[in-house]
Structure 1
Amino acid sequence: MNPLITADVTERLRQHVAGRVIAPDETDYETLRTTPAGAPDARPAVIVRARSTADVVQAVAAARESGLELAVRSGGHSGAGHSTTDGGILLDLGEMKELEVDLERRTARVQPGLTAGEYNEAVGRHGLATGFGDTGSVGIGGITVGGGMGLLTRRYGLTIDSLLAAEVVTADGTVLEADTDHHEDLFWAVRGGGGNVGVVTRLTFRLHPVDEVLGGMLVLPATAEVIEGFVRLATAAPDELSTIANLMPCPPLPFVPAEVHGRPVLMAQLVHTGPLEAARRTLESFRSLAEPYADLVRPMRYPDIFQGEEAGPMPEVVSRGGFARRIGAQEASALAEAVATPGSARIVQIRVLGGAAARVDAAETAFAHRDQPMMLMLVAFCDGPEDRARQERWLEEASGMLDGAAYVNFLGREGPERVRAAYPGATWDRLVEAKRRYDPGNLFRLNQNVPPTG
């Protein structure tokens, strides 16, 4: 980076930004430059901790006029490392946490720095919720623009299906309010387009009545029969039930018997939003798949499902993800064998979809995979280069279960072909047109990029 350019940019930002502007030699820089995932060693030329839409406009202008790369961070969970930049401007939205709840209309207007856990705790005091994935520390801005899958997906759809409006700063610094009646192409692109058309600075969500749920973790042995049965039951379950199953060697959890630690287990996160007795009947069928190693499923407030999460950065991982059309006996057997292989630290995540998310027209948003029945994430932890090569061979073999389509929020640095797989056919063409209109110079390129040239 040119030190004269970065010094000028930093000084300009300090003159015009109300939030903090942090250079590499200042307090908190080392902490703020790191991310929970992706590229923690990247060193931005300057970090802007925006407090308002006006601050965002200034940061966008500084990047556009200086030519410095612009990274936009909500919660910092980009697995591809897009939540930071090496030598560019890091626009950190983490201090933009204003939230206004309209109980009469059942809507919430919120800034993008709020996390999913913070949002649902706040609106949960009113017995309401919006679905934001399954991890409380995820920033709502990032998860929303990619689509948003989680523990309310089958009941209320993707996060974007509850999005009513968005305030967006485009590449030329214009602030636009987009909804179904204003800047419809921009609103369409924001809902699943992955941040390609601007910085979202406010979001208006529909709130759903979600107070007490029957939910929590169920730990079962990860046999082929249990895996196949779990997928079958989750697929046939009513919309009120959403599930996320993780197959892995059992970590040393205090609520699991010590003799189970290290064994392959299916750790299921379940949330049933229907009447309690109906929920108990539905979940009993999951318990009957095998004697549970642990059963933490209980009536609880929905925000409590987000308590107790990941602790710190993970070791090196390789991963492959996408959608799967089926997990039958053969696939379940292969997955059970993969997580039971000695010396292989692997996690396979299965998210059964359908329900409300599948009933939205695929052309209505930039998320095009409404007909996909489930999502599969294959993750392996690597212990050095030799182990990495072994784990990548496994990923190549196991990815035969995937159908080729991609979910933009779960993509790593996998190249333009995988980005195209997230936006097939007419969806890609429509995104390119929106990109040409709102970001013709591709200022917002540190993402799963849709270039304006197509």
Structure 2
Amino acid sequence: MTTYTPTLDHKLLERLRGAVRGDIVEPGDPGYDEARRVYNAMHDRRPAIIVRAVDSGDVIATVDFARDQGLALAVRGGSHSVPGYGTCDGGVVLDLGLMRGIRVDPETRTAWVEGGCTWADVNHATHAFGLATTGGIVSTTGVGGLTTGGGMGHLARRCGLACDNLVSVDLVTADGHFVACTDEHDSDLFWAVRGGGGNFGVVTSFAFRLHPIADILGGPTFFPLDGDVIRRYRELVAEADERLGAVFVVGLGPPVPFLPERWHGRPLCGMVTCWTGPQDEDDRIRDRVAALGPVLGRHLERMPYPVINTLFDDLVPAGLHHYWKGSFTQGLPDGAIDAFVEYGADTPSIQSVTVVFPLDGACHRVGPEETAFSYRDADFSIALSPTLTTREECEARKDWVRAYHRTLERHSMGGGYVNFMDGDDQDRVRANYRDNHARLTALKRRYDPGNLFRLNHNIAP
């Protein structure tokens, strides 16, 4: 491997050392290889420096340094960015992973969450008070990337997207200014970060609205991979109480004890239930889900809400190789269902799962112009991912997901969810933001005319 060594202004670097409380890691330092590693092992990059920030002052100093040096700046929270935007070659990585403080006010049902937190951190802190908010389906996912992209999860039908539950954010802009953004103060930036990704600055803290959710009925129910099962799922979502989270998956049977061994590694589909309604309705929910088709196996039990956000963790640990595509649909067209069955039968690994997120209910009660996330008329968001153990296997299956995505596009809305896009999807940015793209571009021109924050699905100034 050829190592790229940039020329740094060492006086500025020493000034940076004096300005930050966190560690600065350089090539050759002990722990450099560990510090540069990200979740998606497809990205093996060598930054010039990695700053492990501990507070907003460190963030401001690092942003100023990267800007003044003319270096690429990668901002890393949970490091789950599939295109590898949390790292770079020859630039600066601003690692927020040590900024994981959380304060919960149960009276106002608000949580203040630092930018390096994961959803496991948030769920742990809020569950102590019987509260929760929408936050992904894998607990190791970073709060920052998921929320600024929009933020889907098990609670979206009842509570809206993660970005819909934002009360405020603290943001460091490209000129190094610290801005507290709400609907009343710097409202244009507050609008932009709710779906506009990392294009407008580094969010050092989020304030989330919380909901009284403690224990739930949750877990997966598996069925044969059959179009009729998926059509019944479509009917269930159309009629279901918004308190029913109903993420659907297509893939290969995982090696879990509640699924007969003969189904391990074979194509199937399933629904991950998250019922936040009263416990005395649990049996009704179990029966309704079981009516989708022949039940191959299920683990549908009462559990603390944080547990359901960990069910995929062991399936997709850090260090695997990912390549993703995403799309939105209105309804769930028969053509899309046919694609799930056709391509699902050729799913390349147990870790490669097609995930269908319902986006109705509370998500539809926010207008397309109220946040940067514009697909408020979409009913479902679909994520496609070959996830393999080696780079070679992942490269070999890219054609599978591209063909799968092209087939789905014939039944989709044109753009897709930015957090499900890979690095070769930059040409889709305008479609991803639809009518909001022009406003986002104007704001980008105002707040980041030099495009310092460009390692993302970039809204160019």
Q: Does 1:440 align with 2:445?
A: no
Alpha-carbon shift at residue 194 of structure 1 (Å): 0.4
| SS state at 2:356 partner | strand
| SS state at 2:93 partner | strand
AA at the equivalent of 2:274? V
Q: Does 1:87 align with 2:93?
A: no
Q: Deviations over 1:148-199 (max 9, x none)?
A: 0101100010111110011110111110111011011011111111011111
Given that 2:60 and 2:172 are in contact with CA atoms closer than 8 Å, whether structure 1 keeps it comes out as yes
Alpha-carbon shift at residue 254 of structure 1 (Å): 3.1
**In the superposition, relative to structure 1, how do residues 261 and 109 fare at CA in structure 2: closer, same or farther (>3 Å)?**
same
Q: Which runs of 5+ in 1 are unaligned?
A: none
What is the aligned partner in structure 2 of residue 202 from structure 1?
205
Q: Deviations over 1:209-257 (max 9, x none)?
A: 0011111111221211111111221232111011211101213233311
Match of 1:59 among 51, 57, 62: 62
What is the aligned partner in structure 1 of residue 123 from structure 2?
120
Shifted more, 232-241 versus 163-172: the winner is 232-241
Q: Whole-Å Cα distance in 1 between the matches of residues 42 and 349 of structure 2?
A: 24
| SS state at 1:300 partner | strand
Q: Does 1:335 align with 2:344?
A: no
Q: Whole-Å Cα distance in 1 between the matches of residues 14 and 301 of structure 2?
A: 54
Kindly report which structure 2 residues correspond to 1:227-242, keeping only aligned pairs within 5 A, or say none: 227-242=230-245
Q: Whole-Å Cα distance in 1 between the matches of residues 93 and 108 of structure 2?
A: 36
**In the superposition, relative to structure 1, how do residues 342 and 208 fare at CA in structure 2: closer, same or farther (>3 Å)?**
closer
Match of 1:348 among 351, 354, 359: 354
**In the superposition, relative to structure 1, how do residues 208 and 384 fare at CA in structure 2: closer, same or farther (>3 Å)?**
closer
Match of 1:75 among 78, 89, 111: 78
Alpha-carbon shift at residue 12 of structure 1 (Å): 2.8
| SS state at 1:165 partner | strand
| SS state at 1:312 partner | coil
| SS state at 1:397 partner | helix
AA at the equivalent of 1:423? Y
What is the aligned partner in structure 2 of residue 366 from structure 1?
372
Shifted more, 72-81 versus 9-18: the winner is 9-18
Shifted more, 370-379 versus 50-59: the winner is 370-379
Identity of aligned residues (%): 38
Q: Does 1:160 align with 2:163?
A: yes
Alpha-carbon shift at residue 344 of structure 1 (Å): 7.8
| SS state at 1:266 partner | strand
Alpha-carbon shift at residue 202 of structure 1 (Å): 1.1
**In the superposition, relative to structure 1, how do residues 237 and 337 fare at CA in structure 2: closer, same or farther (>3 Å)?**
same
What is the aligned partner in structure 1 of residue 411 from structure 2?
401
| SS state at 1:313 partner | coil
Q: Whole-Å Cα distance in 1 between the matches of residues 454 and 401 of structure 2?
A: 30
Given that 2:259 and 2:298 are in contact with CA atoms closer than 8 Å, whether structure 1 keeps it comes out as no
Matched positions, count:
450
Q: How large is the RMSD of aligned CA atoms in angstroms?
A: 2.0
AA at the equivalent of 1:48? V
AA at the equivalent of 1:192? G
Given that 2:267 and 2:347 are in contact with CA atoms closer than 8 Å, whether structure 1 keeps it comes out as no
Match of 1:297 among 293, 300, 304: 300
What is the aligned partner in structure 2 of residue 97 from structure 1?
100
What is the aligned partner in structure 2 of residue 321 from structure 1?
326
| SS state at 1:87 partner | coil
Alpha-carbon shift at residue 332 of structure 1 (Å): 2.3
Alpha-carbon shift at residue 20 of structure 1 (Å): 0.9
Alpha-carbon shift at residue 342 of structure 1 (Å): 8.3
AA at the equivalent of 1:340? A
AA at the equivalent of 1:352? P
What is the aligned partner in structure 1 of residue 458 from structure 2?
449
Alpha-carbon shift at residue 38 of structure 1 (Å): 6.5
**In the superposition, relative to structure 1, how do residues 331 and 431 fare at CA in structure 2: closer, same or farther (>3 Å)?**
closer
**In the superposition, relative to structure 1, how do residues 389 and 176 fare at CA in structure 2: closer, same or farther (>3 Å)?**
closer
Alpha-carbon shift at residue 115 of structure 1 (Å): 0.6
AA at the equivalent of 1:313? G
Match of 2:420 among 410, 415, 432: 410
Q: Whole-Å Cα distance in 2 between the matches of residues 287 and 339 of structure 1?
A: 21
Q: Whole-Å Cα distance in 2 between the matches of residues 384 and 201 of structure 1?
A: 34
Given that 1:250 and 1:264 are in contact with CA atoms closer than 8 Å, whether structure 2 keeps it comes out as yes
Given that 2:384 and 2:401 are in contact with CA atoms closer than 8 Å, whether structure 1 keeps it comes out as no
**In the superposition, relative to structure 1, how do residues 392 and 106 fare at CA in structure 2: closer, same or farther (>3 Å)?**
closer
Q: Does 1:44 align with 2:47?
A: yes
What is the aligned partner in structure 2 of residue 276 from structure 1?
279
Given that 2:36 and 2:45 are in contact with CA atoms closer than 8 Å, whether structure 1 keeps it comes out as yes
Shifted more, 113-122 versus 433-442: the winner is 433-442
AA at the equivalent of 1:412? D
Given that 2:40 and 2:318 are in contact with CA atoms closer than 8 Å, whether structure 1 keeps it comes out as no
Given that 1:33 and 1:40 are in contact with CA atoms closer than 8 Å, whether structure 2 keeps it comes out as no
Match of 1:218 among 194, 217, 221: 221
**In the superposition, relative to structure 1, how do residues 132 and 394 fare at CA in structure 2: closer, same or farther (>3 Å)?**
closer
Q: Deviations over 1:125-168 (max 9, x none)?
A: 11001111111001111111111010110001011111001111
Shifted more, 24-33 versus 389-398: the winner is 389-398
Alpha-carbon shift at residue 388 of structure 1 (Å): 4.1
**In the superposition, relative to structure 1, how do residues 36 and 337 fare at CA in structure 2: closer, same or farther (>3 Å)?**
same
**In the superposition, relative to structure 1, how do residues 25 and 230 fare at CA in structure 2: closer, same or farther (>3 Å)?**
same
AA at the equivalent of 1:321? G
